[in-house]
Amino acid sequence: MKKLIVFLYGVLAYVIFLFTFLYAIGFVGNFVVPKSIDSGTEGPFARSLLINELLLGLFAIQHSVMARPAFKRWWTRLIDPVLERSTYVLLASLALLLLYWQWQPLPALIWKVDTKLGATLLTAISLSGWLIVLLSSFMINHFDLFGLKQVYNNLINRSDQAMRFKTNLFYNIVRHPIMLGFLIAFWATPVMTLGHLVFSLTTTTYIVVAVKFLEERDLLKSLGTDYEVYKQQVPMLIPFTGRRTSKAAPPKAKLIG
Ligand SMILES: C[S@@+](CC[C@H](N)C(=O)[O-])C[C@H]1O[C@@H](n2cnc3c(N)ncnc32)[C@H](O)[C@@H]1O
């Protein structure tokens, strides 16, 4: 019975994540959803900017702190380790839902592409960014990243293994295709308002700092020279840049963590 409840908790966390992810596409692109990045009534500039930065900061802190191995070691002494990933996903989704709800529009225009062709092209590029995010998550392990694998294995009494290090497909072009997808989705827009610019600049800074100084540091610690070699062969975020001696070596069934 306990295992079933744990499984249902994981499924609920995943469903909330899926809704949050789909909502993000409409939020950033200003389509379909009731509250988007540019909708609502304009408030005082300083107050709006402060609220937006606090909302992004809350997400960044939750996302970064809860992903660190030291935090996970402490946290899984308090909660069932099977629930760790689902709880992380659930809290990240709640932080994003709060952001969508409380985001303050800053409508000043930075750029606007007036031609239909240009606007359609930029929207298509942005949507391709979201697709890159989704496809990349399947290239490492979508159901592991979002906690479903852990609760399912627990339900059927199968032992759970950590995620495997992958260098396939998009991971052979850049080391962080999920983050690259987000950057494309955030920046490719036919209408860039000040609010959207604040969102894109802050998230870009966060992504670069978190990837370089947190995620890659943990991966280096866990994978050692395999990750060192991968770093030399595959650029971080911009495809076809930097030193590239040869194709990334196939992973030697290395587990992360
Ligand atoms: C939200 S995912 C982002 C992955 C990567 N930064 C990206 O942008 O595609 C974060 C998780 O992916 C894992 N990860 C990063 N690179 C990986 C790789 N090449 N193979 C498998 N897992 C990876 C990290 O250990 C972390 O648990």
CB burial string 202-221: b at 16+ within 10 A, e below: bbbebbeebbeeebbebbee
Distances in whole angstroms, Cα of residue 239 to Cα of each of 3, 27, 83, 145 = 43, 27, 35, 23
Alpha helices in 103-176 (DSSP H): 116-140, 142-145, 148-155
Contacts of 120 (CB under 8 A, 6+ apart): none
- What value does the CA radius of gyration of the chain take, rounded to a whole number of Å? 19
CA torsion 198-201-204-209 (nearest 10°) is -100
Calpha distance 41→19 (Å, rounded): 25
pLDDT value at residue 162: 85
H helix or E strand, kind and range, residue 206? helix 194-210
pLDDT per residue as tens digits for the range 48-67: 999 999 999 999 999 999 99
Our answer on whether the CB atom of 234 is closer than 6 Å to any ligand 1 atom is no
pLDDT per residue as tens digits for the range 147-160: 999 999 999 999 98
- Residue 30 or residue 163, greater confidence: 30
pLDDT value at residue 108: 98
The three-class DSSP label of residue 6 is helix
Q: Report the mean per-residue pLDDT for the chain.
A: 95
Q: What percent of the chain has pLDDT over 70?
A: 95
Our answer on whether the CB atom of 80 is closer than 6 Å to any ligand 1 atom is no
Residue 91 tokens, joined:
């809290």
Question: What atom in ligand 1 is closest to the CA of residue 219?
Answer: 25
pTM reported for the whole predicted model: 0.95
Is pLDDT at 133 greater than 80 in this prediction? Answer: yes
pLDDT value at residue 249: 64
pLDDT value at residue 252: 58
Calpha distance 242→238 (Å, rounded): 9
Average pLDDT over residues 35-42: 97
Calpha distance 111→202 (Å, rounded): 18
> Are the C-beta atoms of residues 196 and 108 closer than 8 Å to each other?
no
pLDDT bracket for residue 243 (50, 70, 90): low
Our answer on whether the CB atom of 17 is closer than 6 Å to any ligand 1 atom is no
Closest C-alpha among 205, 199, 211 to residue 235: 211
Distances in whole angstroms, Cα of residue 110 to Cα of each of 68, 75, 119, 177, 193 = 37, 43, 15, 27, 5
> Are the C-beta atoms of residues 77 and 239 closer than 8 Å to each other?
no
pLDDT value at residue 160: 86
Average pLDDT over residues 195-211: 98
Exposure on the CB side of residue 34, measured as CA atoms within 13 A: 3
Is pLDDT at 251 greater than 70 in this prediction? Answer: no
Our answer on whether the CB atom of 122 is closer than 6 Å to any ligand 1 atom is no
pLDDT value at residue 148: 97
Is pLDDT at 46 greater than 70 in this prediction? Answer: yes
Q: What percent of the chain has pLDDT over 90?
A: 91
pLDDT value at residue 161: 85
116-140 and 177-187 helices, crossing angle to 10°: 160
pLDDT per residue as tens digits for the range 78-107: 999 999 999 999 999 999 999 999 999 999
pLDDT bracket for residue 253 (50, 70, 90): low
pLDDT value at residue 257: 61
Question: What atom in ligand 1 is closest to the CA of residue 170?
Answer: 9
Our answer on whether the CB atom of 223 is closer than 6 Å to any ligand 1 atom is no
